[in-house]
Amino acid sequence: MSGVPGANPLRDAQDRRLPRIAGPSGLVIFGVTGDLSRKKLMPAVYDLANRGLLPPGFSLIGFARRDWEDEDFAQVVHDAVKEHSRTPFREEVWQQLSQGMRFVQGNFDDDVAFETLRATIEELDKAQGTGGNFAFYLSVPPKFFPKVVQQLKKHGLADQKDGSWRRAVIEKPFGHDLKSAQELNQLVHDVFPPNEVFRIDHYLGKETVQNILALRFANTMWEPIWNRSYVDHVQITMAEDIGIGGRAGYYDGIGAARDVIQNHLLQLLALTAMEEPGSFHPKALVAEKLKVLTAVELPEDLGKHTVRGQYTHAWQGGEEALGYLEEDGIDPKSKTDTFAAIKLTINNRRWAGVPFYLRTGKRLGRRVTEIAVVFKRAPYLPFESGATEELGGNALVIRVQPDEGVTVRFGSKVPGTSMEVRDVTMDFAYGESFTESSPEAYERLILDVLLGDANLFPRHQEVELSWNILDPIEEYWDKHGKPAQYPAGTWGPAEADEMLARDGRSWRRP
Amino acid sequence: MKIDLTETTSSKINQALVSARRAVGAPAIGMVLTLVIVTDEENAYDALKAASDSSREHPSRIIAVIKRLSRSPRTRRDARLDAEIRVGSDSGSGETVVLRLHGELANHAQSVVLPLLLPDAPVVVWWPQDSPADPAKDALGALAQRRITDTYSAEHPLEELAMRAQTYQPGDTDLAWTRITPWRSMLAAALDQQPAEVVSATVEGESDNPSCELLAMWLADRLGVPVERTTSGGPGLTAVRMTTKNGDIVLDRADGSLATLCMVGQPDRAVALKRRETAELLAEELRRLDPDNIYESTVKFGVEHLDRKDADAPAKKAADPTPPAKKAAPAKKAAAK
């Protein structure tokens, strides 16, 4: 009843049934006709509305070159939602959403279009009560980035007026090296204050990735062994079974390391290796991530401890796959990496001497992302020789996708009269214990943007530190040799296996 | 896969569960809780269907306890346990055991259920209807961390609600309370947007729907202002009005699915507030298994402290002050019954 003056009397920290509903707000999507927008963003907005997490009057503005009316846009969203949304389609939810849908037609250098956008936002503030709070989602190719941001500034769309907010949501790539990343950050921060810029790394929105924090900091059984005394090494893998598809223009010259290691894999490394944050306040979390990223050290001999590769023409999973150099729009002499594996160490008390192996690639055996913490072998085995021949190191594997879950591998006696120990696995599958409840990553991230919760978004310092780690490797690759070749559908070039063999280890088959 | 066992015991049921799991090739169990449903033949089908739908979100072992009433002294002596086991595709995403308790055994249901509970996992008991007067003291209720009743299904909902308040123990909850979560969250969001001091409130809905009373008591308890409860023809809750010094905040849902939110100085907005299926209610209920203190505080507020203006003076409703922003509300017409 009483309580803090000004606090909402209907809210109570103990009332955990009440969800976090975003305040009055709207979302503007640039590049709304794109694939990401149709397959992920629009369905995510609908799913949020369906779960009752969007404020009444939530508005969605599409901005694109297409010559559409509001109704055409609503129809496109309708179709996208019906096809891709996670939760069932409900007419009344759709009615609520469709009232706030607008479309603005124009090019990114078209001043009239941005004036129309501003008028539309003002109109929505009146008609829908969005209160001037808008997030601008830039789902556009990186080259249009500066233009859109400058236009937003020029037309006063990024002004944070009294009590309301304007936020920018940007997608990777955040530059292609440290310098370009800094330029980009400067450009965006010139228009939006740093705490109103949300960088989407959709991996961080995944339940399994958030679960790394729960697994590590909510339990007691892992922490005592989560260090160099027990951990032999860590392998972080993100494999895709598809090729570059239609992304030749973007991919060539960028490559796997810049595309994946710089953001996703280094973020996974930071979450796996960081110390316990004092709280889950974004500042506390980012401080720990920065500490661990600063402590990352590259191997001295980059030639021996990094590998890059390119897939070649082969049969993959029953289909004939083109080699990278044969793909449409790729320079036959291209040195772009479609596979990258690197070894990193972390210079702190917890991790000194424990290598972190990161690998990613296209056209690998199957689509999988996982973090494997491989433990040291028992220092002494009291069994007869031969009994433990089949026993590997214990391992804790966090399966990020697909089939999200956690696997623990340990030795167990094979039933029978002789003593023989073999690896078995104990499995926790999200799909088994929490079926269907996992929201899509974009749902969580869009809601967090509207709520202003920056915990699951990499900050600009993290982006810059990640480039700091990757840049020397890219420079080395530029000057030395060329990518190793691997047949499409395999687990990468032989050189990658040799890289681990040199350390007396081997890659897991994920 | 289904297995029928007649004249059986709990330990035979446990054996059958293990072999059924082996047979469908899924020996690992990832179930997070045991849900015990206490019901009769008439309601068992709907309750099991709702539970198995909600098990998609919370994989659970569902134990339905069906008491078969005996009509003659002879059959009463003939105590017997029949069981039906469903695993795999026949049972949502968990496993289901339907127990039929005949004769004297119907009074000792806990003896059958106890050995069938999942090890180390929380137990939830749900009475879709005919809940005991004191759920926590009930033999089955005592096994559970969470006891779910449904006053809406009761013959006299308001008396039942008063009884819930009397016998409340941490872990008790009621589906009539679960039903109003979307309303509560929307009203809280409305006050987030317009942080004005509420001076009084009105809750309007079906006369025999305890959700309306719970919502009214919640508002009265939280806001510390008089709350009036008026009746309408439904469906369910139809409107909530919070009067503030700046004007009214009205959430009006005439058709049971799409509501309108009216606030002073802001445009009217449509809000999806669909009445939810039992499976969804159950899924929400199973999401958190810790005591619901807000429910406790609300139900203990006491129905008698609400301003009731129904049965004796329904005609007075026309005199209700109409907020300026409000359009001709169809709910008012429906209220005339």
Question: Do B271 and B312 lie in a common domain?
Answer: yes
Res. B26 pLDDT band, cuts 50 70 90 = low
- Chain B contact for A52 (CB, 8 A cutoff): yes
The answer as to whether B51 is a domain residue is: yes
Q: How far apart are the first and last CA of chain B?
A: 49
pLDDT for A309 beyond 50: yes
Residues of A known to be catalytic? 264
Report the alpha-carbon distance of residue A146 to residue A483 in Å, rounded: 33
What is the per-residue pLDDT for A171? 86
Contacts of A417 (CB under 8 A, 6+ apart): none
What is the per-residue pLDDT for B90? 62
Question: Do B144 and B100 lie in a common domain?
Answer: yes
- Chain B contact for A4 (CB, 8 A cutoff): no
- Chain B contact for A24 (CB, 8 A cutoff): yes
pLDDT for B38 beyond 90: yes
Res. B23 pLDDT band, cuts 50 70 90 = confident
Give, in order, the Cα–Cα distances in Å from B276 to each of A462, B149, B181, B281: 44, 17, 10, 7
What tens digit of pLDDT does each residue of B238-279 get?
A: 999 999 888 899 999 988 888 888 888 788 888 888 888 898
SS3 state of residue A438: coil
Share of chain A above pLDDT 90, in %: 43
Report the alpha-carbon distance of residue A244 to residue A363 in Å, rounded: 9
Name the least confident of B13-27, B32-46, B136-150, B195-209.
B13-27
Structural domain span for residue B16: 2-149
Average the pLDDT over B80-99 and give the result: 82
What tens digit of pLDDT does each residue of B205-230 get?
A: 998 889 999 999 999 999 999 999 99
- Chain B contact for A99 (CB, 8 A cutoff): yes
What is the per-residue pLDDT for A287? 92
**Is there a contact between A9 and B30 if contact means CB atoms under 8 Å apart?**
no
Question: Do B11 and B141 lie in a common domain?
Answer: yes
Phi-psi region of B291 (alpha: psi -120 to 50; beta: other; left: phi over 0): beta
Share of chain B above pLDDT 90, in %: 37
Which tokens go with B21?
């799991």
Question: Do B138 and B189 lie in a common domain?
Answer: no
Report the alpha-carbon distance of residue A192 to residue A101 in Å, rounded: 25
- What is the average pLDDT score of chain A? 88
Report the alpha-carbon distance of residue B189 to residue B266 in Å, rounded: 14
- Sheet of B266-272: strands edge to edge? B266-272, B258-263, B247-252, B237-244, B198-205, B227-231, B307-309
- B195 and B265 in contact (C-beta within 8 Å)? no
Our CA-based measurement puts residue B132 at a distance from the nearest CA of chain A, in whole angstroms, of 25
The amino acid at residue B308 is R
Among A76, A48, A52, A49, which Cα is nearest to A62's?
Answer: A76
The answer as to whether B173 is a domain residue is: no
Which tokens go with A408?
């623990």
Average the pLDDT over B50-60 and give the result: 83
Res. B326 pLDDT band, cuts 50 70 90 = very low
- What is the average pLDDT score of chain B? 83
Which tokens go with B12?
């035979």
Name the least confident of B8-12, B102-106, B107-111, B326-330.
B326-330
Question: Do B10 and B143 lie in a common domain?
Answer: yes
pTM: 0.81
Q: For B67-102, b where at least 16 C-beta lie within 10 A, e where not — what string? A: bbebeeeeeeeeeebbbbbbbeeebbbbbbbbbbbb
Q: With contacts defined as CB-CB under 8 Å, which chain A residues touch B293?
A: 14
Most confident of A294-303, A430-439, B57-66: A294-303
SS3 state of residue A30: strand
Res. A14 pLDDT band, cuts 50 70 90 = confident
What tens digit of pLDDT does each residue of A183-214 get?
A: 989 989 999 998 899 998 888 888 788 889 99
What is the per-residue pLDDT for A135? 93
- DSSP secondary structure letters along B4-41: EESS--HHHHHHHHHHHHHHHT-------EEEEEEE-H
What is the per-residue pLDDT for B324? 40
Report the alpha-carbon distance of residue B217 to residue B300 in Å, rounded: 9
What are the helix (H) ranges across chain B? 10-24, 41-54, 73-77, 109-113, 157-167, 175-178, 181-193, 210-223, 278-287, 293-299, 330-335
The amino acid at residue A308 is R
Res. B75 pLDDT band, cuts 50 70 90 = low
pLDDT for A74 beyond 60: yes
The answer as to whether B197 is a domain residue is: yes
The answer as to whether B166 is a domain residue is: no
Higher pLDDT, residue A160 or A44: A44
SS3 state of residue B204: strand
- B261 and A55 in contact (C-beta within 8 Å)? no
Q: With contacts defined as CB-CB under 8 Å, which chain A residues touch B282?
A: none
Question: Do B190 and B97 lie in a common domain?
Answer: no
What is the per-residue pLDDT for B93? 67
Which tokens go with B66?
């069906």
Number of structural domains, chain B? 2
What tens digit of pLDDT does each residue of B104-156 get?
A: 888 888 899 999 998 888 999 999 988 999 999 999 999 999 999 999 998 89
Give, in order, the Cα–Cα distances in Å from A343 to each of A267, A306, A363, B96: 15, 6, 21, 49
**Is there a contact between A10 and B187 if contact means CB atoms under 8 Å apart?**
yes
**Is there a contact between A56 and B223 if contact means CB atoms under 8 Å apart?**
no
Which tokens go with B65?
């306890």
Question: Do B53 and B113 lie in a common domain?
Answer: yes
**Is there a contact between A435 and B223 if contact means CB atoms under 8 Å apart?**
no
Question: Do B74 and B27 lie in a common domain?
Answer: yes
What is the per-residue pLDDT for A404? 81
Res. B336 pLDDT band, cuts 50 70 90 = very low
The answer as to whether B333 is a domain residue is: no
- Chain B contact for A328 (CB, 8 A cutoff): no
Question: Do B80 and B142 lie in a common domain?
Answer: yes
Question: Do B187 and B302 lie in a common domain?
Answer: yes
pLDDT for A232 beyond 90: yes
pLDDT for A5 beyond 80: no
- A203 and A264 in contact (C-beta within 8 Å)? yes
Question: Do B201 and B310 lie in a common domain?
Answer: yes
pLDDT for B330 beyond 70: no
Helix-, strand-, coil-residue percentages of chain B, each rounded to 5: 40, 25, 35
What tens digit of pLDDT does each residue of B180-212 get?
A: 999 998 898 888 877 788 999 999 999 888 999
Q: How far apart are the first and last CA of chain A?
A: 55
Instruction: Supply the ipTM of this predicted assembly.
Output: 0.73
pLDDT for B328 beyond 50: no
Torsion, Cα of B243, B247, B251, B252 (10° steps): 100
- DSSP secondary structure letters along B47-58: HHHHHHHHTTTS
Report the alpha-carbon distance of residue A492 to residue A440 in Å, rounded: 30
Res. B89 pLDDT band, cuts 50 70 90 = low
What is the per-residue pLDDT for B322? 40
**Is there a contact between A429 and B224 if contact means CB atoms under 8 Å apart?**
no
The answer as to whether B160 is a domain residue is: no
What tens digit of pLDDT does each residue of A112-142 get?
A: 999 999 999 999 888 888 888 999 999 888 8
Question: Do B214 and B309 lie in a common domain?
Answer: yes
What are the helix (H) ranges across A85-229? 91-98, 111-127, 145-154, 178-191, 207-217
Nearest CA in chain B to A123: B267
